Amino acid sequence: MLRIGGKKAAIITLTGDVLKGALPVLLARVLGVAPWIVALVAFSALLGHIYPVFFRFRGGKGVATAFGVLVAIDPLAGAALLGIWLVVALIFRYSSLAALTAAVAAPFLMGATRHSHVGLFFAATAAMSLLLLWRHRSNIRNLLSGQETKIGAKAAKVR
């Protein structure tokens, strides 16, 4: 969104996508539902973003929504994931590489928490991470072939 719509559009989109993941999980936690339902709500929020019914199942890649979900489950793990994303993005200048690295790290960070249902949230996070990796398969091909666009590069003009 940053390349296409600019900073303001990117911030609005990022905020909306993070909230799209965080709010349902926070609501489920506030309502005191069983942990397996919280995990199901978390996965469903991500799935709904990636494959939205109202847009013919064509949605985003899910990174910001997954981040919102994980922050709502465990803010410390979410902060660590943000740190990983920032370090990789600053060093290599590829948003997709930063997202992929954070996605791979996410289940392990959730597994390292002291949450009483750590196995459940590890499994849910692993499933979300696999989905994020699947959605980034074109980015993975581009990274391997040296064709991925770096952060800060201008978008190609559409004719």
Q: Is the dihedral of CA 40, 45, 47, 53 positive or negative?
A: positive
Of 21, 26, 30, nearest in space to 62 by CA? 21
Of 51, 54, 35, nearest in space to 110 by CA? 35
Distances (CA, A) of 11 to 16, 17, 18, 102, 127: 8, 10, 11, 20, 27
64 within some domain: yes
151 within some domain: no
Cβ(67)–Cβ(78) below 8 Å = yes
Q: What is the pLDDT along the chain (159 residues), one digit of tens a residue?
A: 666 777 888 899 999 999 999 999 999 999 999 999 999 999 999 999 999 888 888 888 999 999 999 999 999 999 999 999 999 999 999 999 999 999 999 999 998 877 778 889 999 999 999 999 999 999 999 999 999 999 887 655 544
152 within some domain: no
19 within some domain: yes
Domain containing residue 64: 2-145
92 within some domain: yes
154 within some domain: no
Catalogue the long-range contacts made by 88-93 (C-beta closer than 8 Å, 24 or more residues apart).
89/151, 93/150, 93/151, 93/152
117 within some domain: yes
74 within some domain: yes
Question: How many folded domains does the chain comprise?
Answer: 1
d(CA 70, CA 129): 11
